[in-house]
Amino acid sequence: MTTGKRLLIVGGGHAEIPLIQAAKALGYHVITSGNEPGQIGHAYGDAYRCADFSDPDAILAVARAERIDAVCAAANDFSALSAAYVAEHMGLPGHDSFATTQLLHHKDLYRAFAQRHGIASPEAVHFRSFEEALASGLPLTLPLMVKPIDLTGGKGITKVEREEQWRPALEKAFALSRQKRVVVERFLEGSQHSCSMFVRDGRVCFVFLDDEYYYTNPFLVSGAATPSINQGRVEAALGRAAEDVCHLLSLTTGLVHAQYVLHDGVPVIIEITRRCPGDLYNRFVELSTGVPYATWVVKAAAGLDCTDVAPRDPHGCYFRYCVMPHQRGRLRAIEIDDSVRERVVESLIWGRPGDAASDPLLSKFGIVFLRFDDPAQMLAHAPCMDSLVRTVVEPAAP
């Protein structure tokens, strides 16, 4: 099927491959973007244009030059902001206003919005300068979390448990924030999870739940399991929160993805976004439910009809694992333990022997999907998955 229409994906990494494939299946000529020509997603599109997707004006220039008919965000908050900016300036459907997109994707704006409207969210304060933050003393009871307002993947986050950690935490967060703003939150005890919802005409029409796992990096999701241990317990509360946000902000049809902490039995949203989650989360949903999640994301972003979006429960026990190193050095091999080898149903490995493991907190070499026979079996393997699907790294020279 060919429509002759042109769609810009504001990115082109591994996470965007299912979106690119879905857009092409819908008949679009797909242009990818970003300032890293070597990213593997570009090979799946029809054309690549080099432009920093964190620069809305640079992406708008590409969009105008390519005479696009639709734009779709990648799995990145900067990309979501640039996509909304392009849609607003070019009059394209499928996106919220740029101001609304900023409110949802900048942590300080969203926390203030949620607190104003009674949407479950951590108690928080925000600061626009290091001096202002430092002068506040400790604004919340310890422990607390210090975060840049505009980064994802755990970048720049510090859990402050002692007063002497306060100043270094602020210095790190302000140094990394593009907007030079930070949010400080009360730390919530509880398990961490995700909820991916599609909303249509302001109502939730699909819900997918998973449990999050963290290994070397305590602030970066490296594993996800579904069905969730919270299945049947939190959908109503999270759905009401999503619909409240929809009505208050007049959100367009499309994805609303939330990370939440189950705190004293209550799901408290700690992050919310309108772009696809990363690390092939779209394939994770598709494998476990059979729904065309990536196609839904693209159709919504392009302003196409989304009446086919409908509820579907997981039909098996699936785990998504990000293959990451435990130390700096050079990758020698990726090994899969015999106990889970036959559980692997799909994988995308881009790491090759000799590749640099430059940062064990962020470096990734691939994504592996496993299927288990039942929840108990999956729960038994999940906490130690980093030792079952493991990297062998030659340590860096001292």
pLDDT higher at 39 or 3: 39
pLDDT of 2: 55
pLDDT of 224: 98
- The pLDDT of 142-168, averaged and rounded, is 95
Place of tokens 């907007």: 179
Give the separation between CA 258 and CA 357, rounded to whole angstroms. Answer: 30
Per the structure block, which two tokens stand in for 118?
């009674």
pLDDT higher at 328 or 397: 328
Burial level of 224, CB count in 10 A (0-12/13-18/19+)?
buried
pLDDT interval class at 275 (50, 70, 90): very high
pLDDT interval class at 20 (50, 70, 90): very high
Neighbours of 125 (CB within 10 A): 18
pLDDT interval class at 3 (50, 70, 90): low
Domains of the chain: 6-103 (3.40.50.20), 123-186 (3.30.1490.20), 191-395 (3.30.470.20)
pLDDT of 153: 86
pLDDT beyond 80 at 397:
no
Per the structure block, which two tokens stand in for 78?
């900067």
Give the separation between CA 229 and CA 233, rounded to whole angstroms. Answer: 9
Q: What is the pLDDT of residues 86-99, one digit of tens each?
A: 999 999 999 999 99
Give the separation between CA 281 and CA 289, rounded to whole angstroms. Answer: 12
pLDDT of 10: 98
pLDDT interval class at 4 (50, 70, 90): confident
Question: Where do the H-state alpha helices sit in 48-129?
Answer: 56-65, 77-90, 98-105, 107-116
Hey, which bits of the chain come out as E strands? 6-10, 29-34, 47-50, 70-73, 124-127, 144-148, 158-160, 182-186, 191-200, 203-213, 223-226, 254-263, 266-273, 317-323, 329-336, 344-349, 356-357, 366-372, 389-395
